[in-house]
Copies of this chain bind each other. A is one copy, B any other.
Amino acid sequence: MTKINPMWQQYPELVPNLTAVLALMKKHIHTDDRAVTEAILDMINSGGKLLRPAYCLLFSQFKPVDDKKMVALAASIETLHTATLIHDDVVDRALTRRNIATIQARFGQDVAVYAGDYLFVICFQLLANHTSDLRSIRQNAQGMEKILNGELSQKRMRYNYEMTIDDYLKQIQGKTAQLFGLACFVGAYESGNSLSFSRQCQKIGLNIGMAFQIMDDLLDYSQSTATLGKPVLEDVRQGVYSAPLLLALDQHQGEFIPYLEKRANMTAADIDVVTKLVTQYSGLEKAHALAASYTDKALKGLNKLPDIPAKASLLRLTKQLLQRQF
Cα(A131)–Cα(B128), bound, Å: 13
State whether B137 touches A124 (Cβ < 8 A): yes
Cα(A156)–Cα(B108), bound, Å: 11
Which residues of B are found within 8 Å of A122, using beta-carbon distances?
145
Interface size on A, residues (CB 8 A): 40
> Could you mark each residue 100-135 of chain A with 1 if its beta carbon is under 8 Å from any beta carbon of chain B, else 0?
000000000111011111101110110011011010
Task: Tell me whether A31 and B148 are in contact in the complex, defined as CB-CB below 8 angstroms, given that A125-B138, A125-B142, A137-B128 are known contacts.
Answer: yes
Q: Looking at the complex, which one of B115, B142, B149 makes contact with A32 (CB distance below 8 Å)?
A: B149
Most buried by B among A129, A137, A144, A152: A152
State whether A128 touches B134 (Cβ < 8 A): yes
State whether B145 touches A125 (Cβ < 8 A): yes
Number of copies of this chain that the complex holds: 2
Cα(A90)–Cα(B134), bound, Å: 32
Cα(A323)–Cα(B264), bound, Å: 52
A91 nearest CB across to chain B (Å): 4
Which residues of B are found within 8 Å of A142, using beta-carbon distances?
125
Closest to A122 in B: B145
Task: Tell me whether A145 and B118 are in contact in the complex, defined as CB-CB below 8 angstroms, given that A33-B153, A33-B156 are known contacts.
Answer: yes
Residue A97, interface by CB 8 Å: no
Cα(A326)–Cα(B111), bound, Å: 30
**Given A111-B155, A118-B149, A121-B141, 19 additional A-B pairs, CB 8 A:** A31-B149, A32-B156, A33-B149, A33-B152, A33-B153, A91-B110, A109-B109, A111-B152, A113-B113, A113-B116, A117-B117, A117-B144, A118-B145, A118-B148, A124-B141, A125-B141, A128-B134, A128-B138, A137-B137
